[in-house]
Amino acid sequence: MEKELIVEFDPQALSERPDPYPIFAELRENHPVHYSPERDLWVVSRYDDVRKVLLDAETFASGKGTVPTGFVAVKPMLITQDPPYHTHLRSAVHLAFTPRRMAKLDAFIRRVTRELLDAIDPKSETDLFEALTDPLPVAVITELLGIGFEDRRTFSHYAGAVIHADRAHGPSAAEGIEWIYRYLERVLPEREANPGDDLVSRLLHPGPGEPKLTHDEVVGFSALLLMAGTETTTNALGNAIVVLHERPEIRARLAANPAGIPRAVEECLRFESPVPGLSRVTTRDVEFHGRKIPEGARVHMAFAAANRDERMFPNGESFEPDRTPNAHLAFSLGIHFCLGASLARAELKIALEELLARHPGYQVFPERGKRLRSDAARGFSFLPCVAAP
């Protein structure tokens, strides 16, 4: 019989903790396959086990939702589809993520970052979520898609509702995604009639011999990109800023030598995974560490635990900015590997370069910030900061 966990596994509660990692370590070392009856989840937490689930899409399916609450999108979304339909969708959208299109965004990312930093009063306390970590990814994704929001705060309000679990003062997940769908339905006819060089136009007007998506498929993919492409980068950037604040020697070294920032970005993604876990549903009985997981069970992959597994990462509980190799799972793996990973990396690299160049001694106050309550996100929705203390 399995020994009892000190604290019952609840991804939402863990996402709010300043330091959930002792619980993840206990899971990984003493409960590598843990069943949570309260959430009806089988949790795998060691790197090799999580990797096995990610690479076996036939046994561990995404079609019934990818978070513990079982969110299933109304429109087709890559993250909630299985082969062969997933293969069709990914082959179509993959062609639109060309290196040329991604590279063209670098100058845009740097310009927007500088404009956002220009607007911060360096002597006054600022909410860094509102000033930088939220508006930058929203600006980048809307530029990529070729759409624009008159009110970024309204978009963030609804997009966040899909991923966050705190429903007390905002829309439900269903209301959030319906708002995004309605917005896209207003935008797409213009792109269908007058295509440009943006991603939505490329999806609506594929080249000769390329897969063609339906209208609903374009809406579904665009909605996914708007949510995951903004939320994950927002959380990763906020987490990275806090991690470096807590290690002033490392922060000073990176400010003096920005060439080290790309590796530090990878270590930030490993050390504070912006997506601490996702789930799949088994299509047959499987066994891990002598425990049988039945067909139809929801298996939760604890990325936050796997990314600190010392079997894969020596001194995994320590932040080592020059760590190499660094095969973390922050962007997933296999057929569901994040299409926007290179874009997120570019945003993190450029944002940290600009922040450290301008305010190398910034101070944040995470203890007074507000952490997200979420099944599938770890980050801040409020992060007090004084840029030049």
The pLDDT of residue 168 is 58
The pLDDT of residue 1 is 45
Mean pLDDT to the nearest integer, 300-309: 98
pLDDT of 3 higher than 80: no
The pLDDT of residue 329 is 98
How far is residue 246 CA from its own chain's centroid? 22
Q: Please say whether the beta carbons of 68 and 286 come within 8 A.
A: no
44-93 tens-digit pLDDT = 999 999 999 999 999 999 988 787 665 556 788 888 899 999 998 998 88
The pLDDT of residue 69 is 63
Mean pLDDT, all residues of the chain: 91
The residue that leads in pLDDT, 180 or 6, is: 180
Name the band, by pLDDT with cuts 50, 70 and 90, for residue 378: very high
| Distance from C-alpha of 389 to C-alpha of 363, rounded to nearest angstrom | 7
The pLDDT of residue 117 is 97
What CATH number does the domain located at 11-386 have? 1.10.630.10
The pLDDT of residue 286 is 98
The vertex-114 CA angle with 111 and 118, nearest 5°, equals 140
Domain ranges of the chain: 11-386
Mean pLDDT to the nearest integer, 318-327: 98
pLDDT of 103 higher than 90: no
Mean pLDDT to the nearest integer, 93-117: 88
Mean pLDDT to the nearest integer, 124-128: 97
Name the band, by pLDDT with cuts 50, 70 and 90, for residue 2: low
233-252 tens-digit pLDDT = 999 999 999 999 999 999 99
pLDDT of 324 higher than 80: yes
| Distance from C-alpha of 75 to C-alpha of 327, rounded to nearest angstrom | 32
Name the band, by pLDDT with cuts 50, 70 and 90, for residue 341: very high
Other beta carbons within 10 Å of 156 = 21
Mean pLDDT to the nearest integer, 191-212: 88
Q: Please say whether the beta carbons of 117 and 197 come within 8 A.
A: no
Q: Where are the alpha helices (DSSP H) in the chain?
A: 11-16, 21-30, 47-55, 85-94, 99-118, 128, 135-145, 152-163, 173-193, 199-204, 215-245, 248-256, 261-271, 303-306, 341-358
pLDDT of 119 higher than 70: yes
Mean pLDDT to the nearest integer, 214-219: 92
Cis-peptide into 276, omega within 30 deg? no
pLDDT of 157 higher than 90: no
Mean pLDDT to the nearest integer, 104-112: 94
348-375 tens-digit pLDDT = 999 999 999 999 999 999 999 999 999 8
Mean pLDDT to the nearest integer, 157-164: 80
Token couple for 254:
């990176």
9-20 tens-digit pLDDT = 899 999 999 999
| Distance from C-alpha of 180 to C-alpha of 184, rounded to nearest angstrom | 6
pLDDT of 166 higher than 70: no
Token couple for 363:
């101070």
The pLDDT of residue 147 is 83
- Least confident range from 13-17, 24-28, 151-155, 341-345: namely 151-155
The pLDDT of residue 75 is 82
Name the band, by pLDDT with cuts 50, 70 and 90, for residue 209: confident
